[in-house]
Amino acid sequence: MPNTIHIPTPLRPFTDKQESVDVSGGTVGELLADLTTRYEGLRKHLYTDEGKLRNFVNVYLNDEDIRYLQREQTPVKPGDSLSIVPSVAGGAGHVSPKPKAKADVAVAADGSLTRVGSSEEGGARWL
């Protein structure tokens, strides 16, 4: 029974758009090596130039983070699956100015308008 590596959406263009790939090997590192041998374009997204797994690439063996196991030397059994989960980072590159608050307006019984609230001006007032 082969092992499966689940490919995250951002990396699927490098695996011919496959959601998962069957691979073989005895360790997590061997499974990843099989994957990157078949899909060479994927290597630079997973590994540094020195051959180390990139810090922002998280690999899970059957839902267990390999960093808390034996990393790439973690042994695998037939049928085990790996999930590659890239870290999500960032923040707001541009923050839009706060839109002006709209006042809630009500029509009184006599036909006059009443502002019943405004976060900008802090309370009710007559118009």
* pLDDT tens string 79-89: 999 999 988 76
Reading the block at residue 35, the tokens are 């994957």
Pair (38, 7) in one structural domain: yes
Reading the block at residue 27, the tokens are 């360790």
Pair (108, 68) in one structural domain: no
Assigned domain for 59 exists: yes
Assigned domain for 12 exists: yes
Predicted model pTM? 0.69
Pair (68, 31) in one structural domain: yes
**Per-residue pLDDT tens for 47-81?**
999 999 998 999 999 999 999 999 999 999 999 99
Q: What is the CATH number of the domain that holds 47?
A: 3.10.20.30
Assigned domain for 91 exists: no
Q: Indicate the number of domains in the chain.
A: 2
Identify the domain containing residue 115 by its residue range: 100-127
Residues 6 or more apart whose Cβ sits within 8 Å of residue 115: 103, 104, 105, 124, 125, 126, 127
* 64-72 own/partner pairs: CB under 8 Å, 24+ apart: 66/28, 69/28, 71/28, 72/27, 72/28, 72/29, 72/32
